[in-house]
Amino acid sequence: MATRTVTYDLATPGLERGGRPGRTPLAATAEPAMDTDHMLVNIGPQHPATHGVLRLVVELDGEVVVRVVPHVGYLHSGFEKLGEYRTYNQIVPLTDRNDYLAAMSNNVALAQAAEKLMGITITDRCRELRVIACEMSRILSHLVWAGTTGIDIGAFTVFLWLFHERERLYNLIEAWTGARLTTSLTRVGGLMADVPDGWTDELRRWCGRFPKVLDEVETLLSKNGIWLGRNVDVGAISAEDAINWSLSGPMIRASGVPYDVRKDWPYLGYETYDFDVPVGEHGDCYDRYLVRMEEMRQSVRILLQALDRLPEGPINVSDPKVILPPKDRAMADMEAMIFHFKQVMEGVPAPAGEAYQAIEGPRGELGYYFVSDGTAKPVRWRIRPPAFINLAAISKMSQGHLLSDLIAINASVDIVMGEVDR
């Protein structure tokens, strides 16, 4: 592991090389002087710092974490069971509620998986718009992550600034889909609606302003002695362990493994975009922070490219068996009405078979696995939940750290309980 050089602002005296404040003990290498029993502390499921209803049962030796056992399932909603009773287009609203910080990502992932299953190729305009939706969702999710991590570590200002940027994005999303959060953007074979006039100019203007906001946040955090002290060398996980624990997304990239689904298994034409994937080195919380901040900048880069190349044309495939006909035709033309009726009442049947399609969600590899028996409702809908799998490694990452480090590590995993518990 290379030595890391970090520069500091002068506001925080008493800092050692490596970023640690001289007086704060970090990983407990010294033996605790007291020979007492271990203490059992229950954190959650209702707790401000658990990012949802996660319960951590922590065995402590003084202030040092000996073992932490996460209990999940406090938000288990039966998504996968419910999906078996729904047609593919009816599952789209369910996906919004799954990972609610990046709802459009989930919508796109579902549409990609269903289209892979049914063998549908989407139009060019739809593809570029879905890329825009995915990258906007990535930024939205990372903004929440940065804000809530700031709150956990004690930096509340970041939350307010970044949530205001989210509000600007929400304005755009609401203009496009009608909803801020539960967007239900995609349909199998297309999208629910095209972007309104002037929307792309507004997004371009936002993309011009947003990097400056990120600069301001980095001024607050990246060289801040407290932030460094709380995050550097906290919760480190090596590259081999990260692969073995099946981590994905910024968690595995911060550990040095350059695995990004957009680059390795490209979808939606990502191989034609010019963007970098930030890869960390030490695998600690600070590297995850740097990776996510840089990912937001790269997402802006992709957004601008997608806006530049957005072609004119239809957003839906022209197959009337898959896409609802336009309303005026459905009301006037018998054939169109029959297509409309069959799609709404029976759903679009998928051929028997199965498909696994992964996308790079903000949390990691979000995979949707559909098994079909030839009917309109899937036999099995499996969500490969990146947050669930990343969370399992928290017991490994936090051993030997202090209790407050556990909070920082929990924040750096970037969980969303809707996805963990489904």
Partner 1 sequence: MDVTPGPGAAAGVIQSSPNWLTTRLDALVNWSRENSLWPMPFGTACCAIEMMAAFAARFDLARFGMERMAFSPRQSDMLICAGRLPYKLAPVIRRVWDQMPQPKWCISMGACASTGGIFDTYTMVQGIDNIVPVDVYVPGCPPRPEGLIYGIMLLQKKIRGESVFDPSLRVERQKDERGLFLEPRVTDEISEPFGNSVAQTRSA
Partner 2 sequence: MTAVNASVTALQDRFGAAVRRSEVSCGDTIVYVDPARVHDVLAFLKDDPAQRYDYLADVTAVEYRDRERPLEVVYQLWSLARKVPLRVKAELPKDQPLEVATATDLWQGANWLEREVWDMFGIRFTGHPDLRRILMWETYSEGHPLRKDFPLRGRFSRSEQVRQALTDDLEAHYSMEELSLTDAAPYLPEKVRQDLAKGQGG
Residue nearer to partner 1 on the CB measure, 40 or 332: 40
47 binds, among partner 2, partner 1, none (CB under 5 to 8 A by kind): partner 1
265 binds, among partner 1, partner 2, none (CB under 5 to 8 A by kind): partner 2
Residue nearer to partner 1 on the CB measure, 401 or 422: 422
Query: Of residues 24, 32, 81, 216, which one binds partner 2 by CB under 8 A?
Result: 81
Asked if 341 interacts with partner 1 (CB under 8 A), we say no
Query: Of residues 100, 145, 339, 369, which one binds partner 2 by CB under 8 A?
Result: 369
238 binds, among partner 1, partner 2, none (CB under 5 to 8 A by kind): none
d(CA 289, CA 293): 6
At 401, the amino acid letter reads: H
392-360-152 Cα angle (round to 5): 50
At 340, the amino acid letter reads: H
User: Which span (66-74, 123-131, 204-212, 312-320) binds partner 2, by CB under 8 A?
Assistant: 66-74
Taking CA atoms, 173 is separated from 178, 193, 312, in Å, by 7, 11, 20
Query: Looking up tokens 């629910």, which residue turns up?
Result: 192
Asked if 54 interacts with partner 1 (CB under 8 A), we say no
Give every CB contact of residue 105 below 8 A, 6+ residues apart in sequence.
99, 133, 134, 137, 138, 141, 359, 361, 362, 366
Give every CB contact of residue 197 below 8 A, 6+ residues apart in sequence.
none
Asked if 47 interacts with partner 1 (CB under 8 A), we say yes
Asked if 253 interacts with partner 2 (CB under 8 A), we say no
d(CA 143, CA 164): 10
For residue 102, what are its two tokens? 């990046």
Residue nearer to partner 1 on the CB measure, 75 or 310: 75
Q: Please, what is the minimum distance in Å from the beta carbon of residue 6 to partner 2? A: 30
Query: Looking up tokens 């493994």, which residue turns up?
Result: 257
Query: Looking up tokens 């957004």, which residue turns up?
Result: 303
Task: Tally the C-alpha atoms within 13 A of residue 172's C-alpha that lie toward its C-beta.
Answer: 20
Q: Which stretch of DSSP H or E encloses residue 135? A: helix 124-153
Asked if 276 interacts with partner 1 (CB under 8 A), we say no
Cα diameter, the chain? 84
Asked if 104 interacts with partner 1 (CB under 8 A), we say no
User: Which span (5-13, 83-91, 240-248, 402-410) binds partner 1, by CB under 8 A?
Assistant: 83-91
Asked if 67 interacts with partner 2 (CB under 8 A), we say yes
418 binds, among partner 1, partner 2, none (CB under 5 to 8 A by kind): partner 1
For partner 2, the binding residues (CB under 8 A) are 37-40, 57, 59, 67, 69, 71-73, 76, 78, 80-82, 85, 116-117, 119, 241, 243-247, 257, 259, 264-265, 353-356, 358, 365, 367, 369, 371, 373, 379-380, 382, 384, 388-389, 391-393, 396, 421-422
